[in-house]
Structure formats: C-alpha cells, structure tokens
Amino acid sequence: MKIFIDTANVDEIKKLTGLGIIDGATTNPTLLSKEIARQYPDYSSFSKSKILEESKKILFEICELVKGPVSAEVIATDSDGMVKEAEELSKIHENIVIKIPFTPEGLKTTKILSSKGIRVNMTLVFSPSQALLSAKAGAAFVSPFTGRLDDISHWGMDIIRVVVDIYNNYGFDTEVLVASCRHPLHVVESALAGADIITVPPGVLEKLLKHPLTDIGLERFISDWKKVFGE
C-alpha cells in the first residue's frame, strides 16, 4: 500500500519525505490556503491572481519533493470551469493529479479529462455506487472519506472493503485512495482491506512511527552498553 501525505505544509513534507516512505501527496483548497497564510502573514492584501500564483508555486515545490502523484483540487463546480482549471493545474508539473468532487458535473468532467490523458482523483466519495461510477468515468484514483463516515456513525472502513471487491470483480484500473484518515488504525485497516493508497496527515504518520516498547527497548540497550563501556 502506498502512503501519501495529506498536507500542503512544505516544511512538514520536507521532513517526512526524508523517511523514504512517502509515495505522493494530496492537497485541497483549505490546506493550500493555510500554507499561504503560514508563509505570508500579509496574504490578506494579495490579489486573487497573486494567491493563485502562490498556490501553483507551492504545488510545484510539493511535486519536486515527493516525486509522486500530487492531488490539486479545482474550485469550479460546473464542468466547463472544472476542465479549464484542470488544464491549467496540470501544466504545473507532470505529477499533478486533478481532484474533482463527485457530482454529475464532476463525472462529466472526469470523462473529459481522462480522455485528454489528465489523471483525476475523484474526491468526496462516500458510497460504493459513487466509487463504481467514478471508475466507469475513467478516474485514476477514487477517494472514499472514511473518517467523515465514522463521524456520522457509519463504519467508514466498510466502504473500502466493498470498493476493493467491486474493482477486483471488474478489473478496474482505478486505485482506491483512502482519505479522511484520523488515526493509525485507519492505516492498518486500509492495508488489510487491500486499498492501493492511504493519504495521512503528518500527525497520523508521526503516530505510526511511535511505540512505547521501542523507546523502552532502545533506552535499555543504550543503558546496558554504557554500563560496560562507559559514555
């Protein structure tokens, strides 16, 4: 299972890519706006064109850091607008994947973009039927939001198992990209379900690295060594 990092924070990405386990990244308008605000405290004075320019710079830098697919989301909600934005975003870097929301207009857009060779990550997917239609429209990735389903008392991981089975039944090339990951168990459960990818916030990834017994064991080994050989 591939691991993507779900953030637009360039400093966090630089730190985590050094681990050698990051295969790609996902962003959205919220994450990009937070990164612009972090880098430029005076961003409120920026024009719309300046904000778009800075967003593209951040996306390019992320692409150079992760060396894998980087999802960039459109803002438009109509197909013509989505296609126009997608074509502009795809020029940023060869690794850019276009995030399209699951709507009738989004399905239409996905079909158009996939026919042009532009990869789509269908986002805001909450049911197996939506995932099935996304694959039929030619999406390269489909992003079921497990955490948000958990929030409303649905078993979010159940959708992952069902979608993986459906895709395997029909040989779809669409990759299942588990999104809205809230904790390390989502990562383990996604791997058990056979998901292709999971995208995780930096905080969740850092929790994956930690185990108290590892820390205790390391401390004991070092302490025992020092007892024999000194500092």
- Check 34, 84, 91, 99 and give the catalytic one: 99
CB 157 within 8 A of CB 189: yes
- Element containing residue 96 per DSSP (H, E): strand 96-101
> Among this protein's residues, is 56 annotated catalytic?
no
- Element containing residue 141 per DSSP (H, E): strand 141-144
CB 157 within 8 A of CB 186: yes
From its phi and psi, is residue 71 left (phi > 0), alpha (psi between -120 and 50) or beta? beta
- Angle between helix 184-193 and 156-170 (nearest 10): 30
**Sign of the C-alpha dihedral computed for residues 151, 37, 61 and 97 taken in this order:** positive
Q: What angle do CA 161, 204, 7 make, to 5 degrees?
A: 95
Helix, strand or coil, per DSSP, at residue 199: strand
CB 197 within 8 A of CB 3: yes
Q: Which residues are catalytic?
A: 99
